[in-house]
Amino acid sequence: MNFSKSFRNTFLVILLSLIVSACATKQTTTKVDGQMQGDVYTGTDTVKYLADGVPDRVFFATNESILTTKSRDTLRKQANWLRDNSSINVVVEGHADERGTREYNLALGERRANAAKDYLITYGISADRISVISYGKERPVDSGSNPLSWSKNRRSVTVKAN
């Protein structure tokens, strides 16, 4: 009887400790001129415009080159503008955040730029009008070392070719 009472008391103390520690855990998020959607920056403070109302960049999740719904919407706007301006060629620049090796980030930036290029092609833009370059982590728009800065740097940017 004493053993079972002692076991029960020990069990209750452990259970209460776990409950108290779980309640003490606080999750925080930071919002600075934009918001995080999952792992992808969706703010406007780093976005410039290819043309009036046509954002020049799309953002990616960590280690990903998959286009988000918002990215596809932006690229559709770019494709519409490019169809209306058939004499203009563009360069799609691929970028990564500071984490990872130079080689890895150059390859990731290229995959991101190619994902954007391929999407533009599916909307009728000739591949001859789109070139791709990767800068990896060499050209950050935000030099901070935190999740918000990294999310701003994981991007592809469409610029007019010279």
The CATH number of 30-160 is: 3.30.1330.60
pTM of the model: 0.76
Question: What is the rounded CA–CA span in Å between residue 136 and residue 103?
Answer: 8
Kindly state the average pLDDT of the residues 51-56.
91
Predicted confidence at residue 46, as pLDDT, reads 74
Kindly state the average pLDDT of the residues 38-59.
83
Q: Is 124 helix (H, G, I), strand (E, B) or coil?
A: coil
Local confidence band at 4 (pLDDT 50, 70, 90 cut-offs): low
Local confidence band at 55 (pLDDT 50, 70, 90 cut-offs): very high
List the domain boundaries for the chain. Answer: 30-160
Nearest CA among 146, 104, 110, 120 for reference residue 56: 120
